[in-house]
Structure 1
Amino acid sequence: MLKDAQGLVVTTDSPKAIAAINRFIDQALCYGKDAETAILQAIEADPTCALAHAYAAAYYLTQENRKAWQQAQPYLQTAQQNLAKITDREQLYVQAISAWANQEIDVAIAIHEKITNKYPHDLISVQQGQYHYFYMGDKEKLLQIAQKVVSSNPGNHYLYGMVAFGLEQCHQLKAAEKIARQAIALNRYDPWAHHAIAHVMETQGRVDEGIVWMESFADTWENCNSMLYTHNWWHIALYYLQLKNYQKVLKLYDTHIWERANKQSPKDQVGAISLLLRLELHGVNVGDRWQSISPYLYSRIEEHALPFQDLHYVYALAKAGHYDWVNQMLASMQYHTLSINPFVRQRWIEVAIPAARGMVAHAKGDFHTTVTELKPVLSRLHEIGGSNAQRVLFRQVYQDAVLAAQKQSWVYGITA
């Protein structure tokens, strides 16, 4: 047995495997583009290393699409086959990833909490716990799972970035900015800390400062995976949107967001969709960009990895005029609720599906239906996940529909 860079025991006798695991941990924590390569190298160095296989499975599960879920399965099976030979921490981690693969998110969360209580140096487990809380809409727990291990990891800028984001989501903006700046002072190349401050400045209306801040670090994002590269540029685009510099926003979309996206990545797709929708809410003609995205969304129709993602997909399909696909997806969402964990089923039935109907109605210009469907779920939208900055879009759609419905009623009343 050897120890990784976090000082945690890994069941392997291969120094090459440990070195690759260390690279994976670093790449995962910094949202680097080489995480997949690193963990596959670890498995190549030691094909019996259960933790490496579990890390590989987790990596694919974070992609939140069907193909990646299928890629995760053989790695997870190998990890499970070696369960009896590994340490308590590794066993817990394999169990957490197995629960995730089975869509038992409540079980996965409970295990990550147990890992971080017993092994507070395991920042991969902290990060994945935050990930689940993020998509469950539990901002307090998202913060707490990171905060509780700070004393065990003094000076760790990755952890400071995690805490900063949790603080921001809990509206503790001053504290969030302070610890994020501490992270960046330790390592300028910490994109998650940059991201936390982007949220703070946007929330506080510090638009010009936010542009200067984020653009000053943009050179450091070249080694990020496409998700965080495009997402940080998405935040810059939101600043320019607030300034009503629409041509700049379209240029950023074309050069740094959709152009640099992994076109098959759900998270990259969601970022592009949300920016186009925001532009249209400002009255901007986005041309044929909906049609450019829609072919990549066909495989999402019956996937239902996350309700937050589905609301974006179904809207984009409707905007592109693929109403047959839209109807297929709405029916599939309903069918999906018959087979999922009760822990997440209510969120789909009571929040996600009505919201999806409301989003489709807005895309079709049926604003009265949009209001009818969205109004009852506005106070529960946090349950579908996403950040404060991402979810505000749905409220903006609702507000736009209210105004448009009033206008339609007025015109109808005058002309009747």
Structure 2
Amino acid sequence: MEGETVKFDLWGYPVKTTSDDCIAAINSYYHQVLSFGRNRAIILQASINDEDCVLANILAAHFLSSSANPSSASSRLAAARAKLENSTSYEKAIFDSVACLIGADRNDEIVLDLHSKVLPQNQQESYIYGMLSFPLLELGRMDEAEKAARRGLEINKQDLWSQHNLCHVFQYECHYKEAVEFMEACSPTWSSCSSFMYTHNWWHVAICYLEGHAPFQKVLEVYDHYIWRELQRSDADRTEVYLNALGLMLRAYVRGHITCTEDRLKTLANCLTDQSTWHKEWLLDLLAVWALASSNEVSKAESLLKSMQSRVYTMSRKKQQSMQRGILLAESLYEYGRGNCQQVIELLGLDFDVNDCKMIGASDEQLEVFSEVWYTVLLDTGHFSKAIDEIERRVKKREGAPFFWRLLEKGYSIAGKEDACVVAKENAKALEAAYFEQTV
């Protein structure tokens, strides 16, 4: 490899390119990604400046895979693969990691292993621990995830991903007050990050208020002032805002806060009738189907659902099989929005497992609301024994969550288990009172 064709990125790694502008754009992309900035599209300039640069192309594929048109990532991936043989070892390592991450046959364990290979060279970089922490969370390795997040924060208290992941740990452990205090203390560092990260971090705060049974006005204040208000920014990404707004609205809806969120949900659903917001992310489409159906925008909900089904038909057979659970969930949310609980059960069945729906691109915390929908529908359709069994298993994992105790109270009451009902009620009241006293 000729020396003049190799330049070095800001980490000191060799990259085969003759373009200083290409390297500058790559370095800018690093900064934007690691700080969750608003100009991640800068990486496309890198591949324009040197169309043969493997690193520029594979990073462009990474960016495009989560953009409005993810199918466009394939051309950048192909361009990177075509020049891979003559690239540096660093570029090959990044290619392997990203190709696995965005591939149709993604395996999270393999992704984690590939990305972990760069850890020894970056032990003093805060971002690497935040990046490591999140897959550990998704693999259920909470102790390791917390350790990684705290290490990232030791190096840099403003590392956004480490902040976010530590909040995940607090939520999982039902330490809602601690999560709120931690995230609100961190919030001044979020002003320059992307619409998704900004509203998603505030989504976590709102969820903790909701889960901890704080006054519901606290939830609405976060929604109004920190999620919905993001749309007033000239560079806001509205679909990223809608995603977190919808996730919060569905949680509130499942918990019976229907009347006080009705106007907000209608406003949100009206925005979602614009088809330019469709098909940006599978999770967004799923939530939009529910919001449209529950806001009397039934024809739009049907159109979106049919369009989602059509998208699946264009996929490979293997990908179609993978997405079937996601489509069933979308159909169920359509029926749930229309109030057809029996149809929801017929679609999801009595053995529904939300972990089978990870292909929609949601974290465990984001997926949990769909389990909550299923629990409530089981109770409302007379499947109380099944509901009790499932909720009892959930309580064993998160016994500090008042909502699950309330669901158990309802299930025991329906089943005529009065003693168990009293215990569940008292547990729920104790948890609710404890959190309320700490937040007034």
TM-score class normalised by the smaller sequence: 0.7 to 0.9
Q: 2:226 aligns with which of 253, 256, 279?
A: 256
Matching residue of 2:346 = 372
Matched, 1:29 2:38: no
The residue number in structure 1 matching 2:152 is: 183
Change (3 A) 1:296 1:52: farther
Per the alignment, residue 326 of structure 2 pairs with 352
Secondary structure at the residue paired with 1:6?
Answer: coil
Of residues 280, 305, 326 in structure 2, which corresponds to 1:330? 305
Q: Over residues 347-398 of structure 1, what are the superposed CA-to-partner deviations in whole Å (9 max), with x where a residue is unaligned? A: 222x012211211111111111112222344252234331110101100011
Distance 2:331 2:83 in 1: 49
What is the CA-CA distance between 1:60 and the residue it aligns to?
Answer: 3.5
Check conservation: 2:323, 2:359, Cα contact below 8 A. Answer: no
What is the rounded CA distance, in whole Å, between the counterparts of 1:247 and 1:362 in structure 2? 25
2:249 aligns with 276
Amino acid at match of 1:325: K
Q: How many angstroms does 1:170 deviate by?
A: 1.9
Return the offset for 1:154. Answer: 2.2
2:393 is aligned to none
Cα distance in 2 between the residues matched to 1:378 and 1:153: 37
Letter of the aligned partner of 1:190 in structure 2? D
Q: TM-score under structure 2 normalisation?
A: 0.74
Q: Is the 8 A contact 2:195 2:237 kept in 1?
A: no
> Which amino acid is the alignment partner of residue 168 of structure 1?
L
Note closer, same or farther for the CA distance 1:372–1:220 as it changes in structure 2 (3 Å cut): same
TM-superposed CA distance for 1:42, in Å, is 4.3
Structure number with bigger Rg: 2
Q: How far apart are residue 32 of structure 1 and its match?
A: 1.5
Give the SS at the match of 1:5: coil
Whole-Å separation in 1 of the counterparts to 2:38 and 2:236? 15
Task: Give, in angstroms, the shift of residue 140 of structure 1.
Answer: 3.5
Whole-angstrom CA distance in 1 between matches of 2:188 and 2:160: 11
Within a 5 Å distance, the mapping from 1:43-58 to structure 2 comes to 46=49, 48=51, 50=53, 51-52=55-56, 55-58=59-62
The reply on whether 1:393 has 2:369 as its aligned counterpart is yes
> Aligned to 2:169, which of 195, 200, 217?
200
**Residue 10 of structure 1: SS of its match in structure 2?**
strand
Post-superposition shift, 1:220? 1.0
Q: Measure the CA separation in 1 of the matches of 2:105 and 2:334.
A: 23
- For 1:161, what is the secondary structure of its paired residue? helix
Aligned to 1:59: 63
Which residue identity lines up with residue 181 of structure 1 in the other structure?
Answer: R
Contact 2:100 2:107 in 1 (8 A): no
Q: 1 CA distance for matches of 2:267 and 2:245?
A: 11
Q: Secondary structure at the match of 2:229?
A: coil
Equivalence for 1:93: none
**For each residue in 1:120-171, what CA deviation from the matched residue of structure 2 results, as whole angstroms up to 9, or x when unmatched?**
5x4x9747755x48x9885534533333432243222212111111222222
Q: Deviations 1:86-119 (Å, cap 9, x if unpaired)?
A: 76448xxxxxxxxxxxxxxxxxxxxxxxx88x85
CA contact (8 A) 1:177 1:200 kept: yes
* Matches of 2:184 and 2:99, distance apart in 1: 28
The alignment's C-alpha RMSD in Å is 3.3
Select the structure with the greater relative contact order (CA < 8 A; seq sep ≥ 6).
1
Report the Cα distance in structure 2 between the residues aligned to 1:269 and 1:218, rounded to whole angstroms. Answer: 20
CA contact (8 A) 2:196 2:241 kept: yes
Distance 1:159 1:177, change over 3 A: same
Q: Unmatched 5+ residue regions in structure 1?
A: 91-114, 409-416
Distance 1:343 1:83, change over 3 A: closer
Task: Report the more deviating stretch, 390-399 or 46-55.
Answer: 46-55
Distance 1:320 1:328 in 2: 15
Q: CA contact under 8 A between 1:301 and 1:332: conserved in structure 2? A: no
Identity %: 28
Paired AA for residue 313 in structure 2: L
- Is structure 2 residue 390 aligned with structure 1 residue 404? no
* CA separation of 1:88 and 1:396: change in aligned 2, threshold 3 A: farther
Cα separation, partners in 2 of 1:9 and 1:274, compared to 1, 3 Å: same
1 CA distance for matches of 2:196 and 2:71? 18
The equivalent residue for 2:12 is 7
Retained in 2: the 8 A contact 1:136–1:384?
A: no
